[in-house]
Structure 1
Amino acid sequence: MALQWMLLTYAVAAEAVVAILLTLPSPKLLKYRIVSFVSLILQSALFVVPFAGFQLLDLYWKNEHRLMCTSEVCTAAERDRYEKSIYKAQRNVILCASACLLYWCIYRICKFYKKIQSLEEAEKRMKDQ
């Protein structure tokens, strides 16, 4: 199970780096090359969204079937273990949500830059006529 979360963590980290790379100011030619490269990668990186959704479903199922440790019968170690599992689940929900959100942001940024490029080309054609 830890391997799945590590894979999702690395995917989120890579998405964050790509989002930062896309939003940093750079020359137009370099920016358009980066955007075209990222656009090619985006289609294959779509696996992140259903994978994160599956992980969210898994977290929900585990939360619904988790043994509650709130009574006075529980020992301190059991209570600590229960709280630790709750914190891990909350962290993993944030990780899944950020994976989907970052993918969507990268997609919209690339679409935005492509639209700008097509508008600039249309403006150039209009000026030439």
Structure 2
Amino acid sequence: MGLQWMILTYVVAAEAAVAVVLTLPSPKAVKSRIVSLVSLILQPSLFIIPFSAFQLLDIYWKNEHRLMCTGDVCTASERDRYEKSIYKSQRNSILCTVACLLYWFIYRVCKYCKDIQSMEEVEKRYKDQ
């Protein structure tokens, strides 16, 4: 179970790095190269959306079927273990949500850059006429 969360963590870190690179100011030539490269990578990396959704469903199912540890029945160590599992599931659900949001953010930034580039080309054609 830990391997999938480590993979998701690395994917989120890579998405965050790509988002930072895309939003840094850079010359037009460099920016267009970066946007075209990231646009090529976006299609195969779409797997992160269903993967995150599946992980969120898994977290929900485990939360619904988790044994409750309340009252005087539980020992202190059992209560600590229960609280630790709650915090871990909250962290993992935030990780899944951030993965989806960062993918969407990167997609929108690439789309806006492409739209701006096409508008600049249209403007240049009109000026030339």
TM-score bucket (shorter structure): over 0.9
Task: Report sequence identity in percent.
Answer: 75
TM-score norm. by structure 1 comes to 0.99
Question: 1-side partners of 2:107 and 2:71: how far apart?
Answer: 47
Question: 2-side partners of 1:15 and 1:59: how far apart?
Answer: 22
Give the 4+ runs in structure 1 shifted more than 2 A: none
Number of the residue aligned with 2:22: 22
Number of the residue aligned with 1:66: 66
Question: 2-side partners of 1:94 and 1:61: how far apart?
Answer: 16
Structure 2 residues without counterparts, runs of 5 or longer:
none
Structure 1 residues without counterparts, runs of 5 or longer:
none
Number of the residue aligned with 2:81: 81
What is the RMSD computed on CA atoms of the aligned residues?
Answer: 0.3
After superposition, the C-alpha distances for 1:21-71 in whole angstroms (9 at most, x for unaligned) are 000001110000000000000000000000000000000000000000011
Number of the residue aligned with 2:2: 2
2:28 partner amino acid: K
CA-CA distance at 1:118 after TM superposition: 0.1
Alignment of 1:1-129 (within 5 A): 1-129=1-129
TM-score norm. by structure 2 comes to 0.99
